[in-house]
Amino acid sequence: MTITPTPDHWNYDPHYTRYLAYDPEALVDRAGALSGATVLDLACGPGRATLAALERGARRVMAVDFVHDTIDRLAREHTEITVRGCDVVTALQNLPEFYDLVLCHQAINYWLLRCPANLIVNRLKPGGRFVFNTINTAPPTEPKSWDYVEEGRRFHETLYRVGDTIYHVQTATGLAPHINFFDWIPRETIRRLLGEKLDLVELVEGNTSVWICTRRGGTPAGGYDWTQAAPPP
Ligand SMILES: C[S@@+](CC[C@H](N)C(=O)[O-])C[C@H]1O[C@@H](n2cnc3c(N)ncnc32)[C@H](O)[C@@H]1O
């Protein structure tokens, strides 16, 4: 039995088949125009958001993840991407560059509560944006399970919350069981942590929220019109 915050890539791909089907491009599109932008993708995993940013004209992308085999695979397959195999906080403390966009797709709940907000703010150019998605509804404290078949494997998953920690238990044909855990972060906490130096917009899309956090004191590089964004409930 492995109990780790996240699987390595040998386990990541088969365990997350269903979740890999979610489209990171939608998040990148929320970030506005990227032509010529410099981008930092935090907790990049297989790098799908990284690749989407490049496809949209980003000039340079730095991708960070502490699972070395994941990041090594990304660097091997895409020489135009620079990678750092380390913890997000360590990367934010040490990277010398400033970015038009800092991205985090499907991973903020692993690290935001342990990251001083200033480290994020200080990596953004004035007007630069920190864009991420997260669940906006607290998972149940009673375990909730569901079954499905994906790529010939039968999956049985259980999700529940103990205090502010969310546990996701995955079992699947031919795979060792895996327990993944991460933080529940209410929107009030996001506002408190990030609202002091960043202008926050929350786009609510069902149980997911996309947060667009803009560093004050400059004009955003992209052309996204935030007045068209859906207001939070
Ligand atoms: C659910 S995956 C999402 C990966 C990717 N952003 C995507 O959307 O496919 C979570 C990722 O966060 C990474 N991760 C979690 N905590 C981290 C931390 N403190 N520092 C660096 N990477 C972290 C994991 O290794 C994993 O690749």
Q: How far is CA 130 from the centre of its chain?
A: 11
Give the per-residue pLDDT at 11. 67
Q: Would you give per-residue pLDDT tens digits along the chain (233 residues)?
A: 455 556 566 666 777 777 654 588 999 999 999 999 999 999 998 888 999 999 999 998 999 999 877 788 888 888 889 999 999 999 999 999 999 999 999 999 999 999 999 999 999 999 999 999 999 999 999 999 999 998 899 999 999 999 999 999 989 999 888 888 999 999 999 999 999 999 999 999 999 999 999 998 765 555 444 433 333 33
Give the per-residue pLDDT at 227. 36
Atom of ligand 1 lying closest to residue 110 CA: 16
Give me the residues paired with residue 186 across strands: none
101 CB burial (10 A radius; 0-12, 13-18, 19+): buried
Domain assignments of the chain as residue spans, ordered by start:
2-136+185-227, 144-180
> Which residue puts its alpha carbon closest to atom 27 of ligand 1?
45
Which pair of structure tokens corresponds to residue 23?
A: 């489209």
CA distance 212 to 132: 7
> HSE (CB half, 13 Å, CA atoms) of 120?
29
Q: How many CB atoms lie within 10 A of CB 211?
A: 24
CA distance 232 to 98: 29
Centre of ligand 1 from the C-alpha of residue 34, in Å: 22
CA distance 128 to 112: 18
> Which residue puts its alpha carbon closest to atom 15 of ligand 1?
110
Cα-based distances in Å from 215 to 51, 102, 168, 177, 223: 24, 11, 33, 41, 15
Residue type, 90: T
Residues framing ligand 1 (Cβ under 6 A): 5-6, 24, 43-46, 48-49, 64-67, 70, 87-88, 105-107, 110-111
Give the per-residue pLDDT at 68. 78
Cα-based distances in Å from 191 to 135, 194, 217: 14, 5, 19
> Which residue puts its alpha carbon closest to atom 25 of ligand 1?
67
2-136+185-227 architecture in CATH? 3-Layer(aba) Sandwich (3.40)
Give me the residues paired with residue 112 across strands: none
Give the per-residue pLDDT at 20. 56
> Which residue puts its alpha carbon closest to atom 16 of ligand 1?
110
